[in-house]
Amino acid sequence: MRQQPTMRGAEPAAPYEGGCLCGAVRYRATSAPIRGVICHCSMCRRHSGAPALAFIHFRREDFAWTCGEPRRYRSSAFAERGFCAACGSTLSMHEDVLADRVQIAVGTLDQPERVVIADHVWTEEQIPWLRIDDALPRFPRNSPAVPSKARDTN
């Protein structure tokens, strides 16, 4: 698997911290994110209750749950989605093919403005009334930047 470059504009010196709505689950990443993506697939919409879901990827070796851990739901043969068992907040995505990283829902970061989004994926499932005018690359399914099997079977 090809290692993705560290995101430009990210600040690797300060840790990235965040957690769920109620505070039962908290996390910290000590390195800059690998990449950021906005997913428009129906599974991410259902998981988050939002019209799209932004994820940021952190290296697993630089990531830790500092208070509690999310409960996981196996959403496909190749992926699990994490959420807080107490408040239901969407927290994470764990794809078997990307075992070297943890994908965190951007909205759970204490400072989401620090991250950079690289592209939009699964735009073939994007809700027609949702318009995001950002000039980022868009892919009908997965981005070629990372391997994925999460949607090969439902």
Mind listing the pLDDT tens digit for each residue in 84-132? 999 999 999 999 999 999 999 999 999 999 999 999 999 999 999 999 9
**Close Cβ partners of 7 (under 8 Å, ≥ 6 residues apart):** 32, 33, 34, 35, 36, 115, 116, 118
Higher pLDDT: 80 or 146? It is 80
pLDDT at 109: 98
Any idea of the CA torsion for 16, 19, 143, 132, to the nearest 10 degrees? -100
Phi, psi of 41 (to 5 degrees): -70, 155
**Predicted confidence (pLDDT) per residue in 62-77, tens digit:** 999 999 999 999 999 8
Say which residue the tokens 């505070």 belong to: 23
In whole angstroms, what is the distance from residue 124 CA to residue 96 CA?
23
Q: What is the pTM of this model?
A: 0.84
Is-contact 148 39, C-beta < 8 A?
A: no
**Predicted confidence (pLDDT) per residue in 5-55, tens digit:** 344 444 456 999 999 999 999 999 999 999 999 999 999 999 999 999 999
pLDDT at 148: 63
- DSSP symbol at 150: T
Query: Residues 136-151: what's their mean pLDDT?
Result: 78
